[in-house]
Structure 1
């Protein structure tokens, strides 16, 4: 499994705003990404829109219902959450959910998972948030249950946070389903990725990337794993305009705390930035979102055309 060129859909607030048309716009983006050569479509696993993208009350679709529907609307592209919030999904049920997605999509599911971080969602929906340490304890226990279940092995754990008693997981389509961790934590997330993951999606300010790549390799080497067996990708917030004037207008909207994660420009300009700042840092693949313009017919294709040469030679 590899995510060389992923397209993330994080925004469900579109011009016109009719709810009955919302999923048609999502489907159109996924189909366009598939046709344009993206290998993976990813959605967020949140209940509210995130700060820096929109207001909490803005539209947000539930991730696995959306992925299941996209499985029927597409035919070849991989499907994943970037990333599943472990704190509000029981691990045995999550293993069953992603395995069902794999069956429904004929072998195109990836389990993206992380420790969870958006406290307001947990508070409002009644999920325990806990401390930073507790969330990573829970993630480690969850992966200890999920990993064997994805391979068809009964899972048993009498943990501090979760219990499983020979939990079985059928039907399955493949020998296993790839696991992708998302985050940037050098001490906890990267160690769990080295132990459990097939793929690590690094989410951080772009100037931190060279150090993150080096530390991730160290975490693999510490347990005797070949770092080359753990694929990497980077999540890029793409503020892409069709013209220089549109780029200038979009640039005025960038929140101060997101400037080090934003790639602003025309498709060709953004491709150059990603090559110089991401691919050269040692990252294998790119996942991009197009928060402001991805809903526009043709925009995903144009961006895909600009980005494909980067990952073809990465």
Structure 2
């Protein structure tokens, strides 16, 4: 598995009717595939994250969505960013991602994390538990899922999960990759060091040096060569051939989150835009190259939430960023 350039589908609250939802999703992912993106990602949420005044919080179920993309694309890898471990029995999740792999001809990636959004759990009747609970559950789940993805039949009796000689067929390979997502330097990174092929680091750019040092330490603790664990950073990108338009998109997006850049202090502005990259293609490329890739991150996953559904924007982003990760 190599993910140097990923595309996370942005919000799904389009103004078009629900009947047009999947044609819009498919068009974006096909554009990403043509533009050289390695992987398309869909968030695992039950509704769109709330913004002030947002009455349409449409969010399709993640594995149904990825299944539709499996037969609508040919080359691009497909993954959740990331599956909430709390939402699914781990053996069932291994079955789901393996079935996606078969349907896509070997292009599935299991993206998984501990789960974090308490409101979803409450509204849908899932146990949220404590921070410690969720990471214990993730560790147990991967002790079941990882061998199932390799064609083994694990038996496991833990605090949270139990399986007995769990069969996982059909499969078409024994090396379906595992991506762990999160920013926790002790628990998340330790789990990634033990189980993952890829770690998608969630943090502000200013935190990256410390995060990478922590990851080095977690790998060293178990004797793993750090170079065998690929890394990426999720970036929120506002790109347009017209720089003023890109900056207006960023301004409007932040305003919808309750942040007015025209009134913000320097510190407030820095905090609000710490994971954002904005401007014409050359500006975005320079920002990502110097602020992220130069620090030792292997790849970039981008979210184009402000204008990703607009035809041509995903292609523009791919054309801008692919040379950076191929260098």
Is the Cα–Cα contact under 8 Å of residues 231 and 299 in structure 2 kept in the other structure?
Answer: yes
- Indicate how the Cα distance of structure 1 residues 258 and 70 shifts in structure 2: closer, same or farther if over 3 A, else same: farther
- CA apart distance, 1:54: 8.5
Query: 1:291 aligned to 2:305?
Result: yes
Corresponding residue for 1:181? 180
Q: Which TM-score applies when normalising by structure 2?
A: 0.92
Corresponding residue for 2:128? 129
Partner Cα distance (1:150, 1:56) in 2: 40
Partner Cα distance (2:11, 2:101) in 1: 24
- CA apart distance, 1:13: 2.0
Q: Which runs of 4+ in 1 moved over 6 A?
A: none
- Indicate how the Cα distance of structure 1 residues 83 and 56 shifts in structure 2: closer, same or farther if over 3 A, else same: farther
Q: Which TM-score applies when normalising by structure 1?
A: 0.96
* Corresponding residue SS for 1:166: coil
Corresponding residue for 1:236? 235
Deviation string, structure 1 residues 22-56 (Cα, Å, up to 9, x no partner) = 11111000000000100100010001112469848
- CA apart distance, 1:156: 1.2
- CA apart distance, 1:279: 0.2
Partner Cα distance (1:19, 1:57) in 2: 11
- The equivalences for 1:291-310 within 5 A come to 291-310=305-324
- CA apart distance, 1:242: 3.3
Query: How many residues were matched structurally?
Result: 312
- CA apart distance, 1:266: 2.1
* Corresponding residue SS for 1:48: coil
Gaps of 5+ in 1: none
- CA apart distance, 1:100: 0.2
Corresponding residue for 1:2? 2
Gaps of 5+ in 2: 260-270
Is the Cα–Cα contact under 8 Å of residues 13 and 48 in structure 2 kept in the other structure?
Answer: no
Is the Cα–Cα contact under 8 Å of residues 87 and 127 in structure 1 kept in the other structure?
Answer: yes
Corresponding residue for 1:247? 246
Deviation string, structure 1 residues 105-162 (Cα, Å, up to 9, x no partner) = 0000000000000111000000000110100000000000000000000111111000
- Indicate how the Cα distance of structure 1 residues 157 and 57 shifts in structure 2: closer, same or farther if over 3 A, else same: farther
Is the Cα–Cα contact under 8 Å of residues 49 and 57 in structure 2 kept in the other structure?
Answer: no
* Corresponding residue SS for 2:24: helix
